[in-house]
Structure 1
Amino acid sequence: MMGPRSIWHRGVAAVVIFWMIAAAAAITAHRFIPEATWIMVHTFTLGVVTNALLIWTNHFAVAVLRSRPESRRGEAATLALLNAGIITLGVGMIAGSDGVTGAGSLVIGAAILTHILRLWGRLRSALPARFEVAVHAYLWAAVLFLPGILLGYLLSLDSWSPEASVGIRGAHVALNVLAWVGIPIVGTLLTLWPTILRAKLAPGAEIAAKRHLPLLVGAALVAAIGGLLIPLTPLGGIVAGLGYLAFAGVAVFMLAPLAGTTWRMAGGSFAALSVAAGVLWLLATVVTIGLRLLVENPLAVIGNLGPVVLPLLGGGVAQVVLGALSYLLPVVVGGGPKHVRVRTVRADAGSPWRIIVLNASLILYVLSEASLVLVLTSLAALAAALGTVWCLIWAILPVREKHLENAPPPLTDREGNVTPVSPQRGPILMSVGAVALLVIAAVAADPASSGVVRAPAGSQVAAAPVDATGEVTEVAMDMVDMRYIPDLVTVPAGNRLEVTLTNSDGQSHDLVLENGFSSGRIAPNETVVLDLGVIDQSLDGWCSIAGHRQMGMVFTIEVEGGEGSGSDAGGDSHAGGDSHAGGDERPEPTFDLMGEMDDSRHQDPALEPLDRDEPTEHRLTFTVSEMEKEVAPGLTQNLWLFNETMPGPTLHGRVGDTFVITLVNDGSMGHSIDFHAGALAPDRPMRTIEPGEELTYTFTAERAGVWMYHCSTAPMSLHIANGMYGAVVIEPDDLPEVDHQFLMVHGESYYGPEGDVADSAKIAEGDHDTAHYNGYPNQYVQHPLEVKVGERVRFWVLDAGPNIATSFHIVGGQFDTLWKEGDYLLGPESETGGAQALGLLPAEGGFVELVFPEAGNYTLVNHIMSEAERGAKGVIHVTDD
């Protein structure tokens, strides 16, 4: 017979296990779920973790304070309120309803407030108790969780700027992860960890906990305040980072007295190993976030927490929860000592497999960049976690008499010593081997993405005609992050295919098929229904907008039951290749580097001096256009330009100047702009705008330099190579006057056929046709620069790339001043030092100065000589005064 205690704990365990299964289902089917990222994260953090925290912090509060348990009805009502709020919140997020989302948040807050009042009442009515500090930890965690819930609701609203959203997210994560989850874990481990290990509590643990708990709470608050400050001041990232690091440090101090018992590990039980691994992952991830906030752009760190979600929640929180439940459930469900031992054996079943597969997979997930390795390791970690969920279910199932007959002996002898357990070398080695085979299989299945070999090109196979079936296959597809989702559709031969295609990306896309079908441009947030006709052969499709196919925006229709296929699914269209619809071999462009240039393409490199000292505001309009221009003698290309020039207009100012740029897109596709001279969150000012749209980009030049600007719409390399780049010259303070200043922007071109855009495949391979200064090869050979003997000349140089470096050199000249990336490498004060070249990688800039000693023709070159021979050179004609 089951007693009320056993029935209660089985029931609440079922609630937690239900949410575990729901979280696993959300992760598995995330591609087909609206608001998938939010659902995956919050099904776990709210469904699994928050339910577990309410259940077990209340349980431990009763045990630690030795208070009388209250009626289960009140606790059940609180849990019912919590779960009603979680479900309501999820519905609101999926439906996009602020009202429903707010109602769900309010209900969750009410459940947490009830929990706070319960804990506070127990503390006030209880006599002083050992480890009362754990209950204080639970109380503080719940109190800090309330503003975390409010911030979560505010974050769901669409009215915030990207910068404000990052600040709210930073505080929300700190309060919900560090305070609500981290503080209870540390508080509970003070008593639970020695119990799991069946060891005596280390002396001094309670004193250390009481001393450090206020610091732990304070560190979480500092991290949250710093998160809110991130959009407002550079100090915000420092404050938040120090908060995270302080939290990890204080947690280590609080848990340090437990280290002496850790080595026993209770014979290697799953509970002990899982909790220990979880704590290590949790601390390591918190430290990682803290360090990144200190050394990287905090807006980018908080704005992209994706890389740390799996280590933090899967490696840290999940392993602590699963390990703790693996110990607690057999004990609290009970039934007698033998029952507990049988349930514990069930909870420990296959522990080497589960521990090693989960943690090894997480380590490989963190270290790898290969897409298929990431997918398979994350699925392996999920499978290991689900294995533990099954063991928990098995542990709370009834124990029959036949099971009791085979109950294991007690883990401790009469003196309390843990019975030694021999290491399970076989399962350990097999687990490690299984993970290794998983990675080998991933690399073998997709060697191209793993960086081993390039995907082979496919071949065309003739298809036999099939009879129309009269049936329709309907498919819903999405376009997001330069991908079609799903990117493979299987259609019975002879069926008509109807596709409902939605563009959820930030720029326009289309869908073309190799049989000539084209959807036309589909704007962001637009949905179209496409009738692709009767499908009698397998077909490849792609986005025909330049460069998108190269980025992996490809699609396959696979025939089921046909006798042939139009192309192999592993063929060239999937490897990226040419961005031109049809995939035929494109004719090579022809041009003559020694021919006469179109003089309208000549760009004067002279940079006029600044004549003021006070900071000023510059207001300019950059209009995007797509137009044919000569790019080399005898060759025209369809360039994408800012204000019809390549490079675009030069911005010139001093430190402290403000630039207000209005970007107008008069092109036929999405474009954007990124100014390296401004330091700010890129989400809004650098977003892609569609044809006919405009945006205003404001930045203040805080540092001197020769800064690049360029279109940041994917694929960025193509937009840069096709003309969308330019320079911002911000002069350092007290820059001496010179007689002449010239700006030389180095770039390279990857020509497509006559009148076409740049060739994406050439860009990917680095196979450029010409190199040049200011957009046209050899233009300063035909139009030399004019200076006089004895005049001081300053050359500002920027390497715009997108791929090739430059080594700026003047044949016959020596530089007496060299300034690169914000500082002098050779200053004006040097009397005997000299420099021969200014070496720059793409997006680096600087300037050099020299005085020409005598009349003559001096050649400026990229001293990577093959680049000079491709057109990166010019002539300086020096005459006597």
Structure 2
Amino acid sequence: MTTQHETEKVSRRSLIAGIAAAGGTAAFAGVAAAQSMPGHDMAAMQDDAPSAVNPYSAPSIHEGGHGQMITVGRVDAAANGFDPTAMLTDWDFGTVSLMEDGRVLRTFEVEAIDKDIEIAPGVTFPAWTFNGRVPGPALRAKEGERLRIVFRNYGSHPHSMHFHGIHSWRMDGVPGAGLINPGEEFIYEFDARPFGCHLYHCHALPLKRHMHKGMYGAFVIDPDPELHPEFADAARSRLYGTPENARWQELVMVMNAFDTNFDNANEFYAVNTVAHAFAQQPIRIEKSRPVRIYLVNVTEFDPINSFHLHANFFDYFDTGTTLTPTLRTVDLIMQCQAQRGILEFSYAEHEAGPYMFHAHQAEFTELGWMGMFDVVEA
């Protein structure tokens, strides 16, 4: 038997889907008071306005690939303080110094900040952030380095940073081991291991709320080729700053979603937070250079998320802790929350043009998790 609550939840999600199918977002009655969703000024529409300046005109070939089921308008990246496109390549390498034993010490500074962000045109969300962005900074280091993360809590709730890696229990970012109150500071310190594609997130309770509100980010450890002589070429290709790595077009993508009315069901889905960001602004890819994606799933309230690549196949390295693929020649992978991996593929044998990628849960696609690669000759 379907309960009244279940019926209401389905109707809300159906309403969002209907709006996406119609090509836009709108204001809703009864949403959380902390959310602001101003309506569009329909009086400002002009039937004869050119498509370049009319946000209500039909989408371009890139935007219409899924039946024009995308949001209308653009999110103001400057006002948000972060840009989903810039996030694709915006690595935080911290600051480097040498320890007495000659080892590299890499130091990061991270702050917890409460901040309203725009996740779709006209839709704001009361987020809890690391360094004022969702996802938080993409931290990147080299295998074997000593890492020091100086964490300051300027938010309104207790927070922590829990790293998926190998470290002491004292550095685990759970109650009694790095969970701090507002106004406090904690320093996490551990060695960078194992190499791979990892993540960090707040581990305060209730965990689902701290995760969903935006407290997560990618954490990548590059392999040290000297420690993997049997796969040295592959290791060098992943080590940032090497000539072998410079050949690759590397992107970090964090799959996330947002429950805007706080009923434990998501209304918007995205990669790097903004719904349909890469449908409206496709990702430029040079066909002559291979592509590597560091993919992390942090979606709350849904058991799995997925990544599907159109018209192409990729090799997949689950968790990124091996230098040989876990799966070869696949076009779809699933990830549960906190699962992550590395995708490698090439468009060298393709004609230039727009190529889609998206979740293969159709609802996720229509509610924001869909984008395009704009493959160009050079």
Counterpart selection for 1:848 from 332, 343, 346: 343
Counterpart selection for 2:75 from 576, 597, 604: 597
Judged with a 3 Å threshold, the aligned counterparts in structure 2 of structure 1 residues 684 and 750 are, in CA distance, closer, same or farther, namely closer
- For 1:696-707, list aligned pairs within 5 A: 696-707=187-198
Letter in 1 for 2:334: G
Cα distance in 2 for partners of 1:615, 1:594 equals 51
- For 1:438-587, list aligned pairs within 5 A: 586-587=30-31
SS of equivalent to 2:365? helix
Higher strand proportion: 2
**Structure 2 equivalent of residue 808 of structure 1:** 307
- For 1:18-417, list aligned pairs within 5 A: none
Judged with a 3 Å threshold, the aligned counterparts in structure 2 of structure 1 residues 687 and 835 are, in CA distance, closer, same or farther, namely same
1:858 to 2:355 alignment: yes
How far has the Cα of 1:843 moved from its partner? 0.4
Counterpart selection for 1:669 from 125, 134, 157: 157
SS of equivalent to 1:669? coil
Letter in 2 for 1:860: F
Judged with a 3 Å threshold, the aligned counterparts in structure 2 of structure 1 residues 792 and 622 are, in CA distance, closer, same or farther, namely same
Letter in 2 for 1:779: A
Letter in 2 for 1:597: V
Cα distance in 2 for partners of 1:615, 1:835 equals 39
Letter in 2 for 1:713: A
How far has the Cα of 1:679 moved from its partner? 2.8
SS of equivalent to 1:801? coil
How far has the Cα of 1:735 moved from its partner? 4.4
TM-score, normalisation: structure 1: 0.30
Cα distance in 2 for partners of 1:717, 1:655 equals 30
Aligned residues: CA RMSD: 3.0
Contact map agreement 1:818 1:825 (CA 8 A) in 2: no
Task: Write the deviation string for residues 89-128 of structure 1: whole angstroms up to 9, x where unpaired.
Answer: xxxxxxxxxxxxxxxxxxxxxxxxxxxxxxxxxxxxxxxx
1:731 to 2:222 alignment: yes
Consecutive unaligned residues of structure 2, counting only runs of 5 or more, are 6-28, 39-69, 97-101, 225-234, 238-244
How far has the Cα of 1:609 moved from its partner? 11
Judged with a 3 Å threshold, the aligned counterparts in structure 2 of structure 1 residues 707 and 587 are, in CA distance, closer, same or farther, namely same
1:792 to 2:321 alignment: no
Judged with a 3 Å threshold, the aligned counterparts in structure 2 of structure 1 residues 674 and 823 are, in CA distance, closer, same or farther, namely closer
Aligned residue pair count: 283
Contact map agreement 2:92 2:138 (CA 8 A) in 1: no
**Structure 2 equivalent of residue 747 of structure 1:** 256
Cα distance in 2 for partners of 1:624, 1:803 equals 23
Letter in 2 for 1:653: A
Contact map agreement 1:826 1:835 (CA 8 A) in 2: no
Cα distance in 2 for partners of 1:848, 1:615 equals 31
Task: Write the deviation string for residues 685-734 of structure 1: whole angstroms up to 9, x where unpaired.
Answer: 74432221111111212212221211111111111111111110112341
| Bigger-Rg structure (1/2) | 1
**Structure 1 equivalent of residue 318 of structure 2:** 820
Contact map agreement 1:794 1:848 (CA 8 A) in 2: yes
How far has the Cα of 1:857 moved from its partner? 0.7
1:836 to 2:314 alignment: no
SS of equivalent to 1:780? helix
How far has the Cα of 1:628 moved from its partner? 1.6
Cα distance in 2 for partners of 1:668, 1:609 equals 25
Task: Write the deviation string for residues 826-852 of structure 1: whole angstroms up to 9, x where unpaired.
Answer: 649x9xx51112321110111111111
**Structure 2 equivalent of residue 30 of structure 1:** none
Judged with a 3 Å threshold, the aligned counterparts in structure 2 of structure 1 residues 684 and 701 are, in CA distance, closer, same or farther, namely farther
How far has the Cα of 1:642 moved from its partner? 0.7
Counterpart selection for 2:208 from 713, 717, 740: 717
**Structure 2 equivalent of residue 689 of structure 1:** 180
How far has the Cα of 1:595 moved from its partner? 2.8
Cα distance in 2 for partners of 1:746, 1:732 equals 24
Letter in 1 for 2:344: E
How far has the Cα of 1:809 moved from its partner? 1.8
Letter in 1 for 2:368: G
Cα distance in 1 for partners of 2:175, 2:146 equals 18
Judged with a 3 Å threshold, the aligned counterparts in structure 2 of structure 1 residues 615 and 717 are, in CA distance, closer, same or farther, namely farther
Letter in 2 for 1:627: K
Counterpart selection for 1:871 from 368, 371, 374: 368
Cα distance in 1 for partners of 2:74, 2:198 equals 31
Cα distance in 1 for partners of 2:92, 2:77 equals 25
TM-score, normalisation: structure 2: 0.68
Task: Write the deviation string for residues 455-490 of structure 1: whole angstroms up to 9, x where unpaired.
Answer: x9xxxxxxxxxxxxxxxxxxxxxxxxxxxxxxxxxx
Cα distance in 2 for partners of 1:607, 1:596 equals 21
SS of equivalent to 2:275? coil
**Structure 2 equivalent of residue 534 of structure 1:** none
Letter in 2 for 1:806: N
How far has the Cα of 1:607 moved from its partner? 5.5
Sequence identity (%) = 25
1:634 to 2:125 alignment: no
Contact map agreement 1:826 1:834 (CA 8 A) in 2: no
How far has the Cα of 1:770 moved from its partner? 1.0
Judged with a 3 Å threshold, the aligned counterparts in structure 2 of structure 1 residues 702 and 728 are, in CA distance, closer, same or farther, namely same
How far has the Cα of 1:802 moved from its partner? 2.5
Letter in 2 for 1:855: A
Consecutive unaligned residues of structure 1, counting only runs of 5 or more, are 1-453, 457-584, 753-758
